[in-house]
Structure 1
Amino acid sequence: MTRPTAFSEVTKFCKSPSELRIRTLNLYRRYLRHSRDFVNNYNLDIPASQVKTKIRQEFERHRFINDLSVQNVLYMKSQMEFQELVNFWKQECHVMKYFETIENYDKTHNSSFIEKFIKGAD
């Protein structure tokens, strides 16, 4: 059983880029360590290596943001996302949204409301 507070973290504004970098790298490592748990808990049909690749892509996407306040907000959001994933507060469709491709978007975009609702798409 996972306690909700086990992976919680106090929301703290980092005043230096080096402090935020250390916290971000630690969070990235936690994501990687739990990647196999994400696959098992959410019954994903993808290998853990693909989950790790996606985690890397998400962190790399925001790598060159230089504004410290924006970096802090992104860190806090990713920390909340991590806690939701680890505590199993999400459903499989929420996790699979990260692995949607453009082709899948086009298919769900043109489908009926009921089909989208069943698949968990917007």
Structure 2
Amino acid sequence: MTLPTAFAETTRFSTSHAEMRIRMLNLYRRYIRHSREFVNNYDLDIPTSEVKTKIRQEFEKHRHVNDLAVQNVMYMKGQMEFQELVNFWKQKCHVMKYFENFDYYDKAAKNSFVQRFLKGAD
């Protein structure tokens, strides 16, 4: 069982880009370390490697943001998201929204029983 406050972090703003970089890297590492736990807790049909790839993509998407105030807000949102995932405060459908455009998930959905049934396949 996870204590809700185990991964809580007090709100504080980074005053330099170097400090923010260290905090972001630590947050990224926490996400990666818990990726297998996310797959198990939410019973995802996605391999852990795909989850790690998606985590990497989400961090890379915002890599070139240079405004420190924006970086601080993004860090806080990332930290809140992490705490919600780890404490199992989300439902599977909320987690799966991140994987809507993934090839692995799309292929599995196209070959599902319901999709074949709707097409009239045997």
Same-fold status (TM-score > 0.5): yes
Instruction: Map 1:51-66; keep pairs closer than 5 Å.
Output: 51-66=51-66
Moved over 2 A (4+): none
The aligned residue for residue 99 of structure 1 is 99
Query: C-alpha separation between the residues in 1 aligned to 2:36 and 2:90?
Result: 16
- Answer yes or no: is 1:19 the counterpart of 2:19: yes
The code of the aligned residue for 1:11 comes to T
The number of aligned residues is 104
Query: C-alpha separation between the residues in 2 aligned to 1:102 and 1:2?
Result: 30
- Answer yes or no: is 1:37 the counterpart of 2:37: yes
Residue 98 of structure 1 aligns to a residue in which SS?
A: helix
Change (3 A) 1:19 1:102: closer
Query: C-alpha separation between the residues in 2 aligned to 1:23 and 1:71?
Result: 10
The code of the aligned residue for 1:43 comes to D
Following TM superposition, by how much is the alpha carbon of 1:2 offset from its aligned partner in structure 2, in angstroms?
A: 0.5
Residue 50 of structure 1 aligns to a residue in which SS?
A: helix
- Answer yes or no: is 1:72 the counterpart of 2:72: yes
The aligned residue for residue 89 of structure 1 is 89
Deviations 1:2-30 (A, max 9, x none): 10000000111100000010010000000
Q: What TM-score results when the alignment is normalised by the length of structure 2?
A: 0.83
Following TM superposition, by how much is the alpha carbon of 1:101 offset from its aligned partner in structure 2, in angstroms?
A: 1.7
Query: C-alpha separation between the residues in 1 aligned to 2:70 and 2:98?
Result: 21
The aligned residue for residue 3 of structure 2 is 3
Query: C-alpha separation between the residues in 1 aligned to 2:37 and 2:2?
Result: 12
Following TM superposition, by how much is the alpha carbon of 1:102 offset from its aligned partner in structure 2, in angstroms?
A: 8.7
Query: C-alpha separation between the residues in 2 aligned to 1:102 and 1:82?
Result: 21
Task: Structure 2: give runs of 5+ residues left out of the alignment.
Answer: 106-122
Deviations 1:34-86 (A, max 9, x none): 00000000000000000000000000000000100000000000000000000
